Copies of this chain bind each other. A is one copy, B any other.
Amino acid sequence: MHMPYDSRETRSTAEREADIFARLASVIEAAMRAPTYAERLRGIDPRTVASREALARLPVLRKSELPALQRADPPFAGFVPAPPSAFGRLFTSPGPIFEPEGRGPDPWGAARALHAMGFATGDVVLNTFSYHLVPGGFMIDSGARALGCVVIPAGPGQTEQQLEVIAAFRPVAYCGTPDFLKIILDAAAKAGRDASCIKKALVSGAAFPKSLQEDIAARGIDAYQAYATADIGVIAHETGARAGMVVNEDLIVEIVRPGTGDPVPEGDVGEVVVTNLDPHHPQIRLALGDLTAALPGPSPCGRTNLRIKGWMGRADQTTKVKGMFVRPEQVAEIGRRHPELKRLRLIVTREAEADAMTLAAETAAPTDALKAAVGATLQDLTKLKGAVDFVVPGSLPNDGKVISDERKID
Please choose the segment from A89-97, A235-243, A311-319, A360-368 that sits at the chain B interface, where 4 or more of its residues have CB less than 8 A away.
Answer: A89-97
Q: State which of B88, B158, B168 has its C-beta within 8 Å of the C-beta of A75.
A: B168
| Bound complex: CA A70 to CA B164 (Å) | 12
Closest to A88 in B: B145
Main secondary structure on A side of the interface with B: mixed
Closest to A89 in B: B151
Q: Report the minimum CB–CB distance from A387 to chain B (whole Å).
A: 44
Q: CB distance B164 to A96 under 8 Å?
A: yes
Q: State which of B87, B157, B158 has its C-beta within 8 Å of the C-beta of A150.
A: B87
- Of residues 144 through 169 on chain A, the ones whose CB sits less than 8 Å from some CB of chain B are 145, 150-155, 157-158, 161, 164-165, 167-169
Chain A 173-210 near chain B by CB (<8 Å), digits 1 or 0: 00000000000000000000000000000000000000
Closest to A161 in B: B133
- Of residues 79 through 138 on chain A, the ones whose CB sits less than 8 Å from some CB of chain B are 84-85, 87-92, 96, 98, 122-124, 130-133, 137-138
A220, CB-defined interface residue at 8 Å: no
Chain B residues lying within 8 Å of A141, measured Cβ to Cβ, are 89
A74, CB-defined interface residue at 8 Å: yes
Chain B residues lying within 8 Å of A138, measured Cβ to Cβ, are 153
- Known A-B contacts A153-B138, A168-B74; A161 and B84 likewise in contact (beta carbons under 8 Å): no
Chain B residues lying within 8 Å of A130, measured Cβ to Cβ, are 132, 155
Closest to A132 in B: B155
Q: CB distance A165 to B124 under 8 Å?
A: no
Q: CB distance A98 to B168 under 8 Å?
A: yes
Chain A 29-51 near chain B by CB (<8 Å), digits 1 or 0: 00000000000000000000000
Q: CB distance A161 to B124 under 8 Å?
A: no
Chain B residues lying within 8 Å of A153, measured Cβ to Cβ, are 89, 91, 131-133, 137-138
- Of residues 277 through 306 on chain A, the ones whose CB sits less than 8 Å from some CB of chain B are none
> Which 4 pairs across A and B sit closest by C-beta, in order of nearness?
A132-B155, A131-B131, A85-B122, A75-B168
B-contacting residues of A (Cβ < 8 Å)?
Answer: 70, 74-75, 84-85, 87-92, 96, 98, 122-124, 130-133, 137-138, 141, 145, 150-155, 157-158, 161, 164-165, 167-169
Residue pairs across A and B with Cβ atoms less than 8 A apart, 13 shown, are: A74-B169, A85-B122, A85-B150, A88-B151, A90-B165, A91-B152, A96-B168, A131-B132, A132-B153, A132-B154, A132-B157, A133-B154, A133-B158
